[in-house]
């Protein structure tokens, strides 16, 4: 895998090689830059790998839901994402640096890590260029990576974490749609 920090100012694509596996790869040109694999078909624990680092992401809690971010094999949280009511939320690192996670369009098919002043660091857009019919059941995204120097060193974490949050949002939306489409008891 190549170094993710070299993607600053460019775009990349998260692709799902097989629709029946919760495994994803970050591609830039023909290079695999990172991977994200969920440990089970229905769980929220995922492992992200880049050329030099490995992370775990897990959604925890019932009432006070949050996503913990840890270096693989370590116990302490590197960062914690705390969602708000409509899916947006705050990512707070152990050094108190923060980013906002929010939708960037009305239909919430585009999401971004943004700065408190409104600038963006990463933006995830549903789908990839040149999608084919066989991709219809896959979760894929194009990522625009802004060149924000103070956040460049954190791209190896932010790119897979953002896609993890993107997947969680899409799965939650699908579950909510399925739950509300049932026929009421009569």
Residue 177 has pLDDT above 70, yes or no: no
Q: Report whether 40 contacts 10 (CB < 8 A).
A: no
Reported as a single tens digit per residue, the pLDDT across 47-68 is: 999 988 999 999 998 888 999 9
Residue 150 has pLDDT above 90, yes or no: yes
CA distances (Å), 40 to each of 83, 162, 163, 169, in order?
23, 19, 17, 17
Give the CA-trace dihedral at 144, 111, 21, 15, to 10 degrees: -20
Confidence class for position 160, pLDDT limits 50, 70, 90: very high
Reported as a single tens digit per residue, the pLDDT across 81-112 is: 999 877 789 999 999 999 999 999 988 889 99
What's the confidence (pLDDT) of residue 14?
96
Tokens coding 123: 């933006």
Residue 76 has pLDDT above 60, yes or no: yes
What's the confidence (pLDDT) of residue 175?
60
CATH 2.40.160 describes domain 4-173: yes
Of residues 47 and 186, more confidently modeled = 47
24-35: average pLDDT: 94
Instruction: Provide the residue ranges of all domains of the chain, joining segments of one domain with +.
Output: 4-173
């Amino acid at each position: 895998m190549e170094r993710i920090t070299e993607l600053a100012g460019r775009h990349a694509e998260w692709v799902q090689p097989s629709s029946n596996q919760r495994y994803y790869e970050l591609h830039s040109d023909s290079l695999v830059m990172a991977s994200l694999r969920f440990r089970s078909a229905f769980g929220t624990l995922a492992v992200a790998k880049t050329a030099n680092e490995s992370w775990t992401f897990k959604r925890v809690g019932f009432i006070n839901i949050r996503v913990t971010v840890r270096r693989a094999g370590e116990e302490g949280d590197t960062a914690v994402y705390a969602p708000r009511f409509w899916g947006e939320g705050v990512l707070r690192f152990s050094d108190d640096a923060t980013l906002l996670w929010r939708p960037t369009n009305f239909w919430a098919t585009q999401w971004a890590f943004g700065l408190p002043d409104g600038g963006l660091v990463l933006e995830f857009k549903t789908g990839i260029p040149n999608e084919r019919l066989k991709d219809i059941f896959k979760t894929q995204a194009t990522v625009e990576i802004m060149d924000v120097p103070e956040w460049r060193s954190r791209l190896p974490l932010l790119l897979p974490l953002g896609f993890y949050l993107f997947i969680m949002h899409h799965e939650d939306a699908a579950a909510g749609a399925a739950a509300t489409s049932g026929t009421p008891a009569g």
